[in-house]
């Protein structure tokens, strides 16, 4: 055992005494770093309230590490000594020296005593999101507290210089999440001749701006913290570091990218930002303008203070959060039924929906993935193999095992938003900057001829005629549709009546084959359009929510599902001589208020949908009945395949569920073979 390790462990159970004579009982080791050990301790008594004691390592007692340690104590003492200490800064309690005998003789170990914060770091919270951003409301509440803390710090003419997610602690107080900024050690001079991978002289790579790596740090001011704060904010919103260090990259390469590279932008990683921002490209663009300014390599270009930055950022986050909450008025009983909680009271409660879906016999076929979040999945016809798109790559599922799929060297998995299977067996991938690629069963990849890169592709539909992609313009808030006929040239058109399109299908007209081929597309703000050579025509239905998925039916109609548990039955138009009618869209009763993100038809033409908080629904007699799953399953469901021989459901965490088929209906229902269970709550 290393001598330092022996001393570290020997301190557990001992008592240290602060400068005021106060005693602290060291209980256990919370963590350690290159400069010190962090212990949980009791104040004044073995059962006293908890505090944290940071003890400097013996090898760091002399030199710059000792100076940084003492400065941290001085800074925290000053911040805690103001008339009204900021609750978003970890509180300083005491400072002292602990005489210790070592094999090399006696030594005095300095320590500081701080507030004990029971919770997680922001770094841990972001990592748990699997590459996705945190909810808008949480980011705004949390980062407002961090901004408030930095404002207090700057008022004392102090620059934090080491703000990063791991130095922001999150805890619960009276049922509310509270952020506390910690680690106020000051930086030392960097040595740019050494290839360090994490930090240089206290400046954390990826968060510290370029001036912090200059000899002398002469340009380090409050605007240095503005840069670091914005890097943290960006990461909280999208789950990706603003300036990551890629494998094999040196420190100098990362700093050079900060100086001359393009600024991080939420629009380029829109797949991982909260839905409230994905639905508002105008707000995303406004945020990106403020982020670009705050992340400028020139401190003089940045916002002058953290307060100025937050005054520009917060209104945008507030508006995004407000727009992200869909408020649906209570419609007449004949048009909409939304039931999700047993306590619901309203006009829909009188609807004849007392028949609850029985609990099916489900089997968990795979364990969840670790550190990944799936965006989309393609379940094969046999239901036992799946290809899924994640935040970090492409994956293949077979025989209860997930494995990573190798992409062409020029394809970045982070650009992929979704995947579908064409009737000819190709896997169609699509995503950011107009990216679209077909991969044959033999593994041959071929890019679609889409030359317009001002596109984010969010949905696709494929048939014998070709592939239809839908999404949005990056440069302005307008929906986009790209038609790629087999062997032909891609044709792009804008759908001005909708800022973002999510889904497309082609309507069939058995009674009128000549009229078949009209496209139906849907998107945000209730956008629903028929599209043909003559242009696009909106279908009116109330537009009270966003529509995320469509599936066409054999009679020339379709089903569409979306936010807040919305489900539409789109009936084919009544054809009259000399009169061009539009389809009719009718809201149907749905047993959930959670967002629905996918809809499919089973072998008998019956509709199924999946969505948030493990919602699986089956349409029976114009009512979308919720099929209960194991209560332990709470995540988003991203795909479903329903056949007579069984049902397969895919969760965003990679969990695969297999249930009974639709071919042997229960004698008391029109659904699949199910066993009785308790009524649905």
pLDDT band at 353 (very low <50, low <70, confident <90, very high): very low
Q: Would the pLDDT of 347 be above 70?
A: no
Mean pLDDT within 214-224:
78
* pLDDT at residue 108, as a whole number: 83
List the 656-659 sheet strands across, edge first: 363-364, 656-659, 646-651, 637-643
DSSP 224: H
Q: How far apart are alpha carbons 4 and 60 in whole angstroms?
A: 11
- Main-chain phi, psi angles of 506, to 5 degrees: -115, 125
Position with higher pLDDT, 330 vs 365: 365
Please give the distance of CA 308 from its chain centroid, rounded to a whole number: 27
- Main-chain phi, psi angles of 326, to 5 degrees: -80, 125
**DSSP notation for 387-439:** EEEESS-EEEEETTEEEEEPPPTT--GGGEEEEEE-TTSPEEEEEGGG-EEEE
CB atoms within 10 A of CB 451: 9
Question: Closest Cα to residue 263, out of 239, 230, 222?
Answer: 230
Q: How far apart are alpha carbons 585 and 535 in whole angstroms?
A: 19
Q: Would the pLDDT of 338 be above 80?
A: no
Mean pLDDT within 200-216:
74
pLDDT band at 3 (very low <50, low <70, confident <90, very high): low
What angle is formed at CA 98 by the lines to CA 96 and CA 100, rounded to 5 degrees?
165
Q: How far apart are alpha carbons 476 and 459 in whole angstroms?
A: 18
Please give the distance of CA 459 from its chain centroid, rounded to a whole number: 19
Q: How far apart are alpha carbons 561 and 610 in whole angstroms?
A: 9
Tell me the pTM.
0.52
Q: Which two tokens stand for residue 181?
A: 């900024």
List the 23-32 sheet strands across, edge first: 15-17, 23-32, 36-43, 50-56, 105-115, 92-102
CB atoms within 10 A of CB 318: 13
Task: Provide the phi-psi class of 63: left if phi over 0, else alpha when psi is between -120 and 50, else beta.
Answer: left
- Main-chain phi, psi angles of 212, to 5 degrees: -75, -15
What angle is formed at CA 542 by the lines to CA 536 and CA 548, rounded to 5 degrees?
65
Q: Would the pLDDT of 374 be above 70?
A: yes
Q: What is the pLDDT of residues 116-149, one digit of tens each?
A: 988 889 999 999 888 889 989 899 999 999 999 9
Measured CA to CA in angstroms, residue 152 lies from 163, 204, 208 at distances of: 14, 22, 20
* pLDDT at residue 513, as a whole number: 53
Q: How far apart are alpha carbons 248 and 228 in whole angstroms?
A: 23
Question: Are β-strands 623-626 and 637-643 bridged in parallel, bridged antiparallel, or unpaired?
Answer: unpaired
Q: In the block, which residue shows the tokens 């209104």?
A: 315
pLDDT band at 671 (very low <50, low <70, confident <90, very high): very low
Position with higher pLDDT, 478 vs 371: 478
Mean pLDDT within 34-40:
83
The packing angle between helices 306-324 and 281-294, to 10°, is: 160
Q: What is the pLDDT of residues 601-653, one digit of tens each?
A: 999 999 999 998 899 999 998 999 999 887 778 789 999 999 998 999 999 99
> Which residue ranges does the chain devote to CATH 1.10.510.10?
119-324
> Which residue ranges does the chain devote to CATH 3.30.200.20?
3-115
Q: What is the pLDDT of residues 386-407, one digit of tens each?
A: 999 998 889 999 989 999 988 8
* pLDDT at residue 130, as a whole number: 83
* pLDDT at residue 553, as a whole number: 94
DSSP 58: G
% of residues, the chain, pLDDT over 70: 84
- Main-chain phi, psi angles of 579, to 5 degrees: -130, 125
Question: Closest Cα to residue 86, out of 161, 160, 166?
Answer: 160
**End-to-end Cα separation, the chain, in angstroms:** 57
**DSSP notation for 481-538:** EEEEETTS--EEEEETT-S-EEEEEE---TT-GGGTT-EEEEEGGG-EEEEETTEEEE
* pLDDT at residue 426, as a whole number: 93
Q: How far apart are alpha carbons 130 and 137 in whole angstroms?
A: 19
CATH of domain 119-324: 1.10.510.10
H and E: helices and strands count for the chain: 9, 40
Position with higher pLDDT, 35 vs 280: 280
Q: Give me the sign of the Cα torsion angle 179, 183, 188, 191.
A: negative
Q: Would the pLDDT of 235 be above 90?
A: yes
pLDDT band at 593 (very low <50, low <70, confident <90, very high): confident
Name the burial class of residue 579, with classes exposed (0-12), middle (13-18) and buried (19+) by CB atoms within 10 angstroms of its CB. Answer: exposed
Q: Which two tokens stand for residue 515?
A: 């009229």
- Tell me the three state secondary structure of residue 624: strand
Q: Would the pLDDT of 668 be above 70?
A: no
* pLDDT at residue 667, as a whole number: 35
* pLDDT at residue 421, as a whole number: 95
Q: How far apart are alpha carbons 491 and 465 in whole angstroms?
A: 14
- Main-chain phi, psi angles of 203, to 5 degrees: -95, 115
Q: Which two tokens stand for residue 601?
A: 């038809």
* pLDDT at residue 157, as a whole number: 84
* pLDDT at residue 502, as a whole number: 95
Residues 6 or more apart whose Cβ sits within 8 Å of residue 550: 503, 504, 505, 520, 521, 522, 558, 559, 560, 599
Mean per-residue pLDDT of the chain? 82
Question: Closest Cα to residue 225, out of 142, 312, 164?
Answer: 164
Question: Closest Cα to residue 293, out of 355, 229, 388?
Answer: 229
Q: How far apart are alpha carbons 337 and 611 in whole angstroms?
A: 17
Q: Which CATH number fits the domain 3-115, given the four candidates 1.10.357.10, 3.50.50.60, 3.30.200.20, 3.20.20.70?
A: 3.30.200.20
Q: What is the pLDDT of residues 163-175, one digit of tens each?
A: 999 999 998 887 7
Contact 155, 196 (CB under 8 A): no
- Main-chain phi, psi angles of 106, to 5 degrees: -70, 150
* pLDDT at residue 406, as a whole number: 84
Q: How far apart are alpha carbons 333 and 352 in whole angstroms?
A: 11
């Amino acid at each position: 055992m290393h001598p330092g390790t022996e001393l570290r462990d020997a301190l557990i159970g001992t008592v240290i005494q602060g400068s005021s004579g106060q005693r602290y009982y060291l209980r256990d080791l919370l963590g350690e770093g290159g400069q010190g050990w962090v212990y949980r301790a009791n104040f004044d008594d073995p059962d006293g309230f908890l505090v944290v004691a940071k003890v400097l390592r013996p090898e760091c007692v002399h030199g710059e590490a000792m100076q940084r340690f003492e400065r941290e104590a001085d800074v925290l003492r000053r911040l805690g000594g103001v008339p009204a200490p900021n609750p978003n800064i970890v509180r300083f309690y005491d400072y002292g020296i602990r005489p210790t005998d070592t094999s090399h003789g006696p030594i005095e170990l300095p320590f500081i005593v701080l507030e004990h914060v029971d919770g997680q770091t922001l770094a841990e919270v972001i990592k748990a999101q699997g590459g996705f951003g945190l909810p808008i409301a949480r980011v705004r509440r949390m980062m407002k507290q961090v901004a408030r803390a930095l404002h207090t710090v700057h008022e004392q003419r102090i620059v934090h210089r080491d703000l990063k997610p791991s130095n922001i602690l999150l805890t619960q107080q009276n049922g509310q999440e509270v952020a506390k900024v910690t680690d106020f050690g000051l930086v030392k001079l960097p040595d740019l001749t050494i290839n360090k991978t994490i930090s240089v002289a206290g400046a954390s790579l990826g968060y510290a701006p370029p001036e912090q790596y200059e000899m002398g740090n002469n340009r380090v001011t409050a605007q240095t913290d503005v840069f670091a704060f914005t890097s943290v904010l960006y990461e909280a919103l999208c789950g990706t570091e603003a300036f990551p260090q890629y494998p094999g990259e040196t420190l100098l390469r990362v700093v050079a990218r900060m100086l001359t590279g393009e600024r991080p932008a939420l629009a380029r990683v829109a797949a991982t930002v909260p839905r409230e921002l994905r639905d508002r490209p105008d707000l995303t663009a406004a945020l990106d303008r403020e982020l670009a300014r705050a992340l400028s390599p020139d401190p003089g270009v940045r916002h002058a203070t953290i307060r100025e930055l937050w005054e520009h950022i917060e209104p945008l986050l507030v508006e995004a959060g407000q727009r992200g909450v869909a408020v649906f008025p209570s419609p007449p009983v004949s048009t909409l039924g939304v039931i999700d909680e047993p306590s619901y009271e309203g006009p829909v409660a009188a609807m004849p929906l007392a028949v609850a879906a029985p609990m099916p016999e489900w089997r968990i076929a795979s364990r969840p993935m670790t550190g990944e979040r799936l965006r989309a999945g393609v379940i094969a016809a046999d239901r036992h193999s799946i290809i899924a798109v994640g935040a970090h790559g492409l994956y293949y599922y077979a025989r209860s095992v997930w494995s990573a799929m190798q992409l062409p060297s020029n394809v970045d998995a982070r650009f992929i938003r979704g995947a579908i299977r064409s009737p000819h067996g190709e896997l169609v991938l699509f995503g950011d900057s107009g990216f679209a690629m077909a991969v044959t069963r033999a593994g041959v990849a071929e890019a679609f001829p889409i030359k317009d890169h001002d596109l984010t592709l969010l949905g696709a539909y494929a048939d014998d005629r070709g592939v239809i992609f839908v999404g949005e313009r990056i440069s302005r808030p307008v929906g986009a549709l790209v038609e790629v006929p087999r062997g032909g040239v891609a044709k792009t058109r804008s759908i001005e009546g909708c800022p973002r399109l999510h889904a497309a299908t082609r309507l069939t007209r058995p009674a009128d084959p000549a009229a078949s081929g009209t496209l139906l597309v849907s998107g945000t703000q209730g956008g629903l359009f028929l599209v043909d050579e003559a242009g696009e025509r909106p279908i009116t239905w109330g537009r009270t929510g966003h529509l995320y998925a469509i599936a066409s039916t054999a009679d020339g109609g379709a089903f569409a599902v979306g936010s807040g548990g919305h489900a539409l039955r789109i009936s084919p138009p009544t054809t009259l001589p000399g009169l061009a009618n539009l389809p009719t869209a009718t809201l149907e009763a749905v047993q959930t208020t959670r967002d629905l993100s996918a809809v499919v038809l089973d072998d008998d033409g019956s509709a199924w949908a999946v969505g948030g908080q493990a919602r699986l629904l089956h349409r029976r007699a114009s009512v979308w009945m919720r099929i209960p799953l194991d209560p332990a399953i709470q995540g988003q469901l991203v795909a479903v395949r329903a056949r007579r021989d069984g049902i397969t459901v895919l969760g965003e965490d990679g969990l695969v569920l297999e249930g009974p088929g639709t071919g042997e209906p229960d004698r008391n229902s029109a659904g699949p073979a199910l066993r009785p269970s308790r009524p649905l709550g």
